[in-house]
Structure 1
Amino acid sequence: MKIVIDDKIPYIKGALEPFAEIVYLPGNKTTPEIVKDADVLITRTRTKCNRRLLEGSKVRFIATATIGFDHIDAEFCKQAGIEWTNAPGCNSGSVNQYIASALFSYSIKKEFDLKDKTIGIVGAGHVGSKVAALCKTVGMRVLLNDPPRARREGADKFVSLSKIQEEADIITFHVPLNRFGEDATYHMVNQDFLNNLKHPLLINSCRGEVFDTVAVKEAINKKLISGYIADCWENEPDIDTELLNLADYATPHIAGYSKDGKANGTKMSVQSVSRFFNLGIDNWEPAGVELPENRVIETDGYQRSESSILAEAVIRTYDIKNDDNALRESPRLFEKLRGDYPVRREFGTYTLKLKNTEDDIKQKLTKLGFIIATNEISP
């Protein structure tokens, strides 16, 4: 058996070598010649798994170590008898951390309290649900829009997109890219959408093509929206530098790039290959996941607001401004910034040592995922 693996997928080396010939190479070097005699592909979103790549190959199974799967031509795979799987929810905690940092950083920059705001969350899957819990913990009013879930579960928990347009101060999108059908999301943020808003902050950390770049630039220039935060872009890696300059925060599609998220994606991919071929490693776990330099955060809450304490804890685990600065300095290095991304771990990796901090704030930090040290810092 031959398995071709994207060489940017971490923690996977050694997992499948006992069972197959393994070829590691960059996603953009995965050619029809390479995969012709391969049985399995383990990929990321940069590898277009379509007819051009797969026709005439021996490939039987594709695992993408990502939530997104719009790089896989599902119809062709069905015709060709190729099974495939993605890694749903693998990096939801990472994107949640990114959104938390974005929200707190933006609120500090614009000098407002998140508690006073209404957020509209479009797409309430793995990521959107975590973001909703985050925002409720912070004290925001949350409006959820998810038509597929509303049809399955009933409309009680959900609102229309028009209600979000009318009432939300912030709108964040967590939808897959669907180009066709009842739940199409391609360019759902277009001129019509942007002309009917309450002057909100917009955040795109799902897929670049969900937003019409031209329409968004026009909306910013016409002040139809109060701010824009972009992690995903049309035509990556050749992003629109005009939109980059207009955005409040701009990052190179790294919202889901925590080490936790990457390890989860790798784990789910290896386990899916094991199940498909009965390899007997269905419970495989990645080893050697890097830790941050400083896992203990000390905070003094004396005469500080709740939002200030929450913001400090979040931003000390991940500061969106660092990625924003890196992209602005070198937009042409979009792919390199992704490929060489530094260690980022999620909230649950960190222990907070708190001083002069109320119990209800500690409870909120625990809900966000932090570990609270049992002993406070000595005065």
Structure 2
Amino acid sequence: MNKPVIYISRKLPKSLLEPYSDRFTFHMWDQEDKPVDKEELLKESKKADGLITMLTEKIDDRFLRENPQLKIIANLAVGFDNIDIMAAKKHHIIVTNTPDVLTETTADLTFALLMATARRMVEANDLIKQDGWEVWSPFFLAGSDVHHKTIGIVGMGRIGEAVARRARGFDMRVLYHNRSRKPQAEKDLPATYVNFDELLTQSDFVVSLIPATEQTKGLFNHDIFLKMKTEAIFINASRGAVVNELDLASALENGVIKGAGLDVFSREPIGSDHTLLALKNAVCLPHIGSATVQTRKDMVRLCLDNLDSYFYGDGPKTPVQ
């Protein structure tokens, strides 16, 4: 058979593609730091049997309808809310993602964000850069303890469990809320299952690790922040769409909660004029949860393995539907 044609929507290292070059013909967008434009993606996709896409590419019913020859889309992420999964199923197109390989790396970043927010590290760093460190005083840049506090994890998937393991190293009490209970995690970590309201009222740190769905869109809003402790810190390392950012900014400004750390936003990228960036008690990162060199390479390889298994093996390794 002719080698399947794969279009890649962002420039990737050729060294990662080389081991697969005898089985695929690759075409690739020529820029690493700029998403492919919609017209270019549509044009190139019409020549392809499969795609490797990023979260920046919105794959909807119309796009899939105009590409009936496509067989598989390998999404370079755990999340896949950029792809209309029901439409893909309707058009008999397989969609895969990259779970597991980024779990520990994302958990590292999530816990680092929690600590940076609690101990006001970014604020302290900025203060020195602005020549604001003039004298020591007992409560100078005093933050919040992490050890022996209560962490509430909303969404106890692979990453949630990995964050919980890190929390236990700080002697934290671990609460979680999930669509289904995790008896083994409760035993091994240990962790305690509670309803959502209990988690909000009891936790010193509320960590969102839930996917973006119609049910979770804007879940963390004014009413939810009011239920949290006034000393609580909110962390979002899942999807920006689950947070009402205006309500979060209001909660931070008015002392409803103490702080927030975010790696994701409802619209990305954000600029320096974003409301939350004006607040000292908000730590904002540019969606770098899985951004280590090794993990990103592993994610690319899993995308390629999914394509290889689909075209030449027993089916994709990590299908999402």
Q: Which amino acid aligns with 2:7?
A: V
Closer/same/farther in 2, CA of residues 154 and 170 from structure 1, 3 Å limit: closer
2:198 pairs with 1:195: no
Equivalent residues of 2:237, 2:263 under 8 A apart: yes
Give runs of aligned pairs for residues 7-26 of structure 1, distance below 5 A: 7-10=10-13, 12-25=16-29
What is the alpha-carbon distance in structure 1 between the residues aligned to residue 180 and residue 304 of structure 2?
29
Equivalent residues of 1:19, 1:279 under 8 A apart: no
Closer/same/farther in 2, CA of residues 151 and 186 from structure 1, 3 Å limit: farther
Which of 82, 88, 93 aligns to 1:77? It is 88
In the superposition, the TM-score normalised over structure 1's length comes to 0.68
Unpaired runs of at least 5, structure 1: 284-379
Give the structure 1 partner of residue 254 of structure 2. Answer: 222
What is the alpha-carbon distance in structure 2 between the residues aligned to residue 124 and residue 141 of structure 1?
15
What is the alpha-carbon distance in structure 2 between the residues aligned to residue 82 and residue 101 of structure 1?
38
1:158-205 per-residue CA deviation (whole Å, 9 max, x = no partner) reads 1111111111111111111111xxxx2111101221121112100111
Give the structure 2 partner of residue 207 of structure 1. Answer: 239
Give the structure 2 partner of residue 113 of structure 1. Answer: 145
Equivalent residues of 2:176, 2:192 under 8 A apart: yes
1:115-165 per-residue CA deviation (whole Å, 9 max, x = no partner) reads 231111111111111000000111111111112346999999411111111
Equivalent residues of 2:152, 2:206 under 8 A apart: yes
Give the structure 1 partner of residue 46 of structure 2. Answer: 36
Q: Which amino acid aligns with 2:19?
A: A
2:274 pairs with 1:241: yes
Equivalent residues of 2:148, 2:170 under 8 A apart: no
Equivalent residues of 1:35, 1:53 under 8 A apart: no
Q: Note the C-alpha offset of 1:228.
A: 0.9
Give runs of aligned pairs for residues 121-140 of structure 1, distance below 5 A: 121-140=153-172
1:321-377 per-residue CA deviation (whole Å, 9 max, x = no partner) reads xxxxxxxxxxxxxxxxxxxxxxxxxxxxxxxxxxxxxxxxxxxxxxxxxxxxxxxxx
Equivalent residues of 1:9, 1:65 under 8 A apart: no
1:37-72 per-residue CA deviation (whole Å, 9 max, x = no partner) reads 210001111111212322231110011121111011
Equivalent residues of 1:36, 1:54 under 8 A apart: no
What is the alpha-carbon distance in structure 2 between the residues aligned to residue 151 and residue 28 of structure 1?
44
Q: Note the C-alpha offset of 1:267.
A: 2.1
Supply the RMSD in Å over aligned alpha carbons: 2.5
What is the alpha-carbon distance in structure 1 between the residues aligned to residue 184 and residue 112 of structure 2?
32
SS of equivalent residue, structure 2 residue 104: helix
Give runs of aligned pairs for residues 340-351 of structure 1, distance below 5 A: none
Q: Which amino acid aligns with 1:254?
A: I
1:270-327 per-residue CA deviation (whole Å, 9 max, x = no partner) reads 11111111169x99xxxxxxxxxxxxxxxxxxxxxxxxxxxxxxxxxxxxxxxxxxxx
What is the alpha-carbon distance in structure 1 between the residues aligned to residue 54 and residue 298 of structure 2?
13
Give the structure 2 partner of residue 251 of structure 1. Answer: 285
1:232-251 per-residue CA deviation (whole Å, 9 max, x = no partner) reads 01111245611122253111
Q: Which amino acid aligns with 2:308?
A: S
2:60 pairs with 1:50: yes
Equivalent residues of 1:145, 1:158 under 8 A apart: yes
Which of 273, 288, 291 aligns to 2:307? It is 273
Closer/same/farther in 2, CA of residues 152 and 106 from structure 1, 3 Å limit: closer
Q: Note the C-alpha offset of 1:88.
A: 1.4
Give the structure 2 partner of residue 95 of structure 1. Answer: 106
SS of equivalent residue, structure 1 residue 3: strand
Give the structure 1 partner of residue 132 of structure 2. Answer: none
2:162 pairs with 1:162: no
Q: Note the C-alpha offset of 1:254.
A: 0.7
Higher relative contact order (CA 8 A, sep 6+): 2
Unpaired runs of at least 5, structure 2: 121-141
Closer/same/farther in 2, CA of residues 97 and 153 from structure 1, 3 Å limit: closer
Identical-pair percentage? 25
SS of equivalent residue, structure 2 residue 227: coil
